[in-house]
Amino acid sequence: MRLPQLPLPGRIRGLSPTVVTAAVTVTLLAGSALGASQLVADHHLAGRSHLVAAVGPTGAPAPTHGATSTLHSSAPVEPTVAPLRRLETADLLIVSSHPLPLAEVRAVARLAGVRGAELADEGRVALARHPAEMLGVIPSTFRAWTPLYTARSDALWQSVARGDTAVSFDIGHDARLPLGGTVPVAGRHQLPIRIGAFASVGIAGVDAIVTDTQARRLGLVHGNALVVSAPGVDPTTLRQEVADLIPHAGHVELLRPVIVVRDAGEFLTRAQINTVLRAAWSRLGLPYVWGATGPLSFDCSGLVQWSYARAGILLPRTAAEQFLTGPHIPLADARPGDLLFWTYDPTAPGFVDHVALYVGNGMMVVAPHTGDVVSYAPVPLADLAGVVRVDPAF
Tell me the C-alpha distance between 254 and 318, whole Å.
12
The CATH number of whichever domain residue 348 belongs to comes to: 3.90.1720.10
Same domain? For 290 and 330 the reply is yes
Residue 281 shares a structural domain with residue 354: yes
Which amino acid makes up residue 114?
Answer: V
* Chosen domain end from 254, 283, 302: 254
Number of domains, the chain: 2
β-bridge partners, 331: none
Do 239 and 128 reside in the same domain of the chain?
yes
Residue 179 C-beta-side C-alpha neighbours within 13 Å: 21
3-state secondary structure at position 300: helix
Give yes or no: residues 247 and 141 share one domain: yes
Query: pLDDT tens for residues 266-304?
Result: 688 888 998 999 999 999 999 999 989 999 999 999 999
Assess whether 152 and 297 both reside in one domain.
Answer: no
pTM score: 0.66
Residues 172 and 51 in one domain: yes
The helix (H) or strand (E) run that includes residue 190 is strand 190-198
Residue 296 in any domain: the answer is: yes
CA dihedral defined by 254, 258, 260, 266, rounded to 10 degrees?
Answer: 60
**Confidence bin at 8 (pLDDT 50/70/90):** very low
Same domain, 173 and 27: yes
Q: Are residues 164 and 25 in the same domain?
A: yes
223 and 109 together in one domain: yes
pLDDT digits (tens, 9 = 90+) for 337-347: 999 999 988 77
Is 260 part of any domain? no
Question: What gap in Å lies between CA 308 and CA 276, rounded to an integer?
Answer: 5
At 175-217, the pLDDT tens digits run: 899 999 999 999 999 999 999 999 888 888 899 999 999 999 9
Report CA torsion sign: 158, 161, 162, 167. positive
Range of the structural domain that residue 326 is part of? 270-388
The last residue of one of the domains, among 225, 254, 283, is 254
For residue 2, being part of any structural domain is answered with no
